[in-house]
Structure 1
């Protein structure tokens, strides 16, 4: 049997019996289902989507105006989508990293960096003040070089961080391997302040419970099928209506204003499909490690880890001693299809399992208990798209790509600022004022994305050298990433 065949066989055995469900959501402490909205409901603000963006929108709305009547309409369950399927990395960056921020918004990146730091600090403070038990850890992150060409990239990132006052520690091969024992590591960049780790489902569940204590009404199984204007009497509007109606299959909510936070899922605002690429990200969760297995990998600080390639992995330990391992494959399906049937892809999960054991060969024989995937709402700019509709009665914030857990709180404030119509500092940033470049429609979209994906893989295989296509995308601040 060849080495590749042996690795594939080992990956297949490790995946045998893995539940096809997100680990974070597949636990007995999950809250009971909430009722769907039925009949006519009234509110000051209706939020479409119960992920982190929607939850933070309701949270910030009640902070700004205690007693404000807020309704959340979630199509499935709280934390069903990307909110409950991610790795639990909460990053300060609003610009998909300093390198990307300096390339796209050079005149504003310092202010955006400071805004991101304030946002993360306020997010942590809010969680702790509310007493939400979500295994929040201030452990930071280490970015890892696993190819020689990536070592120079870490050095450049360290120097760029210093320019903005970020204290990043460059680790040699021996230093990083002494910290986390993997033969694949050639260097590392340790950031102790820019990232915290959370249990994302517990955070979402805790936020929803806190919001209900504040009087927010949270409805599940309430997919919004349409938005329309209403006049002061509750009837159909004439273009200058007094509010907006969010319609579902079993009822509707009439509100003065609405925020759409539907991420990669179908939105009642069809225009959002012009900006969103639903990319399926794949994740594995191991069984709990034994004491001997934990000792064999070190990792005493339990920080988040990610490698430095264009196609990258992210991984972290959990409170009960497991390892979450995800990333690498960012899969787009023709037409931007989003469906539960796409959440199990044997080739992607087997590839992840092989990569896991290449990273930690000393854990051979460890099994995975969960395997899952889900769509990320990526944009061509790697950051969210913001805007308004219905004459300013509706605001939207979608497209949080791979650093959206922290940025979702900033986006909530942006959406509320847009509804208020007040020129806050947030609304002056180009990241807010200018939307990402639209994604071409099908049938052009799929081949463009697939060619870009192939080009990225080729770049990683050739010492990071980017072809003409990728260099052209870089020039205009465009790209493809999970």
Structure 2
């Protein structure tokens, strides 16, 4: 088994040749810090609104080699979160946001078709299923009979016959993609439109709307920061997110197992855990299986065991075999992990950073493929100082939820994570966790916030 920080998707796609770093000073209308989905989509939306705009993207490593290129490839809307959105923002704003997120799911597919990017986009429903008695009822609050539909055990088993599935919900607006191909395709299309992208160009200072790297500066009229888990390095955001990690394994090609499961539709599936499992078939007949139960990271540190953790991968493989016993004896070809920027509200936010003309997006909480497109629409609008539907979405300058400072944040989050791991393991074994474990694992819900995925 190959175990590294980049994962199977990136290896399968083959990363494009690196671009040179910034050298000297350049001028731009907008500088985008971060070459993942959110930053690249922001650049795209800026050009759609103002085709003559001068846009520069600065990426500390290489575009698409971070979380954007190594996630599960689930393109989800926010429809499943509609009950929580209504409670947080009110019915009208919540429903507007949910519809906008649905539009982003569809827009990504339309963009791939229009631009000729083969990102294996497949419009298919997302299933959220109970895999143990304590998960029963998962997603039920969002059922409306249209966008979110209840599934019985028999209906769930007819879609994918894992022995652990007990029923759940089907979310109609969803899709899957090859995440690395999408990221690399977006990078290429931006270059073709004249966007200047500098890789291996870590921003060491952002003074107003001027971004400075070790090799030069971008003097811009507006600045956008879209750096995922590294957002915690920004002073205004340090108490607005935690950094968790999620880890994935992918099997050898197993079309026989997929056929035996009846999983012909390619539906992406998650279970009802707090530290959820997520899984899907790949376009070439493998099974990808992830667990959002990786370790917490201090501050904005995104490397180390957030990316390569043999202990977490061993547990992920055990869980894979529990869901799909027919995979016993089949080869695991690749394993990897990556950081997650966890918002206390479980929602992305678009906020101003200090001075005029500087904005950031953060807090995708492991659901970034679709919502990154959505947040980028808002980022592009605020960067261009537009007052439109995108800049008026509820994720723009939402109510602030703050977390304790370090080291209390990492200590508390790690304690809660360990308690949730113990609690969910006990429940899946048919037991009940001890009172202390139950109390600690329930702290985030009682405080009305998320500390882990």
TM-score, normalising length from structure 1?
0.85
Q: 2:58 aligns with which of 73, 89, 95?
A: 73
Cα displacement (A) at 1:389: 3.1
Q: 1:434 aligns with which of 394, 398, 417?
A: 398
Q: How far does the alpha carbon of each residue in 1:248-270 deviate from its partner, in whole angstroms, 9 at most, with x for none?
A: 11111111111011111267743
Unmatched segments (≥5 aa) in structure 2: none
Counterpart in 2 of 1:98?
82
- 2:298 equivalent to 1:327: no
Residues 105-254 of structure 1 correspond to what in structure 2 (within 5 A)? 105-107=89-91, 108-154=93-139, 156-157=140-141, 160-162=142-144, 165-172=146-153, 174-191=154-171, 193-229=172-208, 244-254=209-219
Q: Is the Cα contact below 8 Å between 2:94 and 2:394 reproduced in 1?
A: no
SS in 1 for 2:175: strand
Q: How far does the alpha carbon of each residue in 1:302-347 deviate from its partner, in whole angstroms, 9 at most, with x for none?
A: 1101111222100111111111110241320344532246422111
Structure 2 CA distance for aligned equivalents of residues 177 and 28 of structure 1:
32
- 2:452 equivalent to 1:481: yes
The two structures, once aligned, show a CA RMSD in angstroms of 2.5
Structure 1 CA distance for aligned equivalents of residues 376 and 216 of structure 2:
25
Q: How far does the alpha carbon of each residue in 1:5-42 deviate from its partner, in whole angstroms, 9 at most, with x for none?
A: xxxxxxxxxxx455564111123632111111111111
SS in 2 for 1:175: helix
Cα displacement (A) at 1:85: 1.6
TM-score, normalising length from structure 2?
0.91
Q: Is the Cα contact below 8 Å between 1:140 and 1:197 reproduced in 2?
A: no
SS in 2 for 1:330: coil
Structure 2 CA distance for aligned equivalents of residues 110 and 455 of structure 1:
34
Deviates more, 1:320-329 or 1:451-460: 451-460
Q: How far does the alpha carbon of each residue in 1:231-263 deviate from its partner, in whole angstroms, 9 at most, with x for none?
A: xxxxxxxxxxxxx22111111111111101111
Residues 7-18 of structure 1 correspond to what in structure 2 (within 5 A)? 16-18=1-3
Q: Is the Cα contact below 8 Å between 1:225 and 1:268 reproduced in 2?
A: no
Counterpart in 2 of 1:263?
228
Q: Is the Cα contact below 8 Å between 2:125 and 2:173 reproduced in 1?
A: yes
Q: Is the Cα contact below 8 Å between 1:286 and 1:369 reproduced in 2?
A: yes
Cα displacement (A) at 1:274: 2.4
Cα displacement (A) at 1:439: 2.1
Q: 2:249 aligns with which of 284, 298, 301?
A: 284
Structure 2 CA distance for aligned equivalents of residues 56 and 112 of structure 1:
18
Structure 2 CA distance for aligned equivalents of residues 146 and 78 of structure 1:
36
Counterpart in 2 of 1:401?
365
SS in 2 for 1:225: strand
Q: Is the Cα contact below 8 Å between 2:243 and 2:298 reproduced in 1?
A: no
Q: 1:85 aligns with which of 42, 64, 70?
A: 70
Structure 2 CA distance for aligned equivalents of residues 101 and 476 of structure 1:
17
Q: Is the Cα contact below 8 Å between 1:139 and 1:195 reproduced in 2?
A: yes
CA pair 436-286 structure 1, distance change in 2 beyond 3 A: farther
CA pair 28-443 structure 1, distance change in 2 beyond 3 A: closer
Unmatched segments (≥5 aa) in structure 1: 1-15, 230-243
Counterpart in 2 of 1:376?
340
Q: How far does the alpha carbon of each residue in 1:58-108 deviate from its partner, in whole angstroms, 9 at most, with x for none?
A: 0000000012111111101111211012100011117x7224323433433
Counterpart in 2 of 1:8?
none
CA pair 336-77 structure 1, distance change in 2 beyond 3 A: closer
Residues 272-421 of structure 1 correspond to what in structure 2 (within 5 A)? 272-289=237-254, 291-340=255-304, 342-421=306-385
